[in-house]
Amino acid sequence: MLLLVPLFWGGVFPAGKHIIAEVPPITTAAVRFGLAGLVLLSIVWAKGEWNGAAVKRQWRGLVLLALTGIFAYNVFFFVALRYTSAVNGSLIMATSPVFITLGAVLFLKERWNPRLGIGLTLSLTGVCLVVLGGLPYGAASFSFNVGDLLFLGALGCWVLHGLIGKVVMQDLSPLLTTTVSTVIGSLLLVLCSLPEKGWRSVISLSAQGWAEMLYMMVCATVIAFLLWNEGIHRIGAGKASLYMNLVPINATWMAVFLYGTLISWQQFAGMGLVIAGVSFVMLDGGVKKLFARQVG
């Protein structure tokens, strides 16, 4: 089941880049999460998971989750796709497990691990290789790519969202947390989208655009989040995070074969470094358990 999650999330990058050619970026995000929020809300009610008392206790955390992971993240995400490639965006966002782990060490008092430092170095080197266009020669003629900088903003929002979620989900189920934050965040996106005046373009969206929108809403939001939550429940967050290494790979092959995107050697090399860095950090727990079993 978890193999489907990075497949669905990887497809958001090229699909989203195509959709914003027809619909303004924030309006695109508002449609995606507005529809997804309604579907998730109906699932919560159908499963009887609504817990008003817990939602009331955690309302500050839920609002922060909505502001960081739904509203601000998607504003950065879809606007960034106007200025940079889907491959670059997926590589930058692939470093999020490492930074969430680092944030947990700094702010949630989780234990520091030397592997984290090595993983951070590898991942950041990979991102720099992509953003700078090839080190060290790219640095001499480097000019900031607005899209890559916006994706760095999206990365920061997603890391905050992950850290806040660790706290909130001690009291709320992952499904209820995702549902409430999605509904709140989608309302903020709708309000923010009004100055774009792009809702008429939603009505005239092409057949391919609607197919991509439904894919992002149904597959990449509703199904992917439900599978993700179920996967974490069955095998744990540490092992589940390893599957996120496949997101940039899926985003790349979809961008190449479905949208005709050209890939540079810097992007291939950066992908390898990012995946190696994330794997180095996230495999630590599995290696320790394996060693313990062998000794035992």
What percent of the chain is modeled with pLDDT above 90?
A: 37
pLDDT at res. 135:
41
CA separation for the pair 252, 82 (Å, rounded): 17
Total residues belonging to the chain: 296
pTM, rounded to two decimals: 0.77
In tens, the pLDDT along 135-149 reads 444 444 444 578 888
Confidence of residue 290 (pLDDT cuts 50, 70, 90): very low
Kindly state the DSSP code that residue 194 receives in the 8-state scheme. G
CA separation for the pair 92, 255 (Å, rounded): 16
The mean pLDDT of 254-268, rounded to a whole number, is 79
pLDDT greater than 60 at residue 289:
no
Residue ranges making up the domain that contains 268:
4-295
In tens, the pLDDT along 32-41 reads 999 999 999 9
Please compute, for residue 120, the number of CA atoms within 13 A of its CA located in the half-sphere on the CB side.
11
pLDDT greater than 90 at residue 86:
no
Which residues have a Cβ under 8 Å from the Cβ of 237 and sit 6 or more positions away? none
C-alpha separations of 292 from 239, 285, 288 in Å: 17, 11, 6
pLDDT at res. 287:
44
**By C-alpha distance, which of 97, 137, 134, 139 is closest to 119?**
97
Which residues have a Cβ under 8 Å from the Cβ of 77 and sit 6 or more positions away? 16, 29, 89, 150, 151, 154
Q: Residue 169: what are its φ and ψ, rounded to 5°?
A: -80, 5
pLDDT greater than 90 at residue 183:
yes
pLDDT at res. 72:
95
**By C-alpha distance, which of 144, 129, 135, 143 is closest to 91?**
129
The answer to whether 196 and 24 have CB atoms below 8 angstroms apart is yes
The mean pLDDT of 118-126, rounded to a whole number, is 75
pLDDT greater than 50 at residue 294:
no
CA separation for the pair 240, 119 (Å, rounded): 17
Please compute, for residue 241, the number of CA atoms within 13 A of its CA located in the half-sphere on the CB side.
23
What is the residue type of 33? F
The mean pLDDT of 203-208, rounded to a whole number, is 92
pLDDT greater than 80 at residue 67:
yes
Evaluated on CA atoms 31, 34, 36, 38, the torsion sign reads negative
pLDDT greater than 80 at residue 292:
no
pLDDT at res. 55:
92
Query: The tokens of 33 are what?
Result: 């999460």
In tens, the pLDDT along 222-247 reads 898 788 777 766 665 556 666 777 77
C-alpha separations of 130 from 58, 156, 263 in Å: 39, 18, 11
| More confident call, 101 vs 56 | 56
Query: The tokens of 72 are what?
Result: 């601000």
CA separation for the pair 52, 30 (Å, rounded): 25
| Total domains in the fold of the chain | 1
The answer to whether 267 and 88 have CB atoms below 8 angstroms apart is yes
pLDDT greater than 70 at residue 104:
yes
CA separation for the pair 86, 84 (Å, rounded): 7
Which residues have a Cβ under 8 Å from the Cβ of 180 and sit 6 or more positions away? 55, 62, 66, 172
pLDDT greater than 90 at residue 76:
yes
Query: The tokens of 232 are what?
Result: 């974490």
Q: What is the largest CA-CA distance in the chain?
A: 65
- Mean pLDDT comparison of 108-112, 154-158, 162-166, 248-252, highest-scoring range: 154-158
pLDDT at res. 60:
94
| More confident call, 145 vs 164 | 164
pLDDT at res. 242:
64
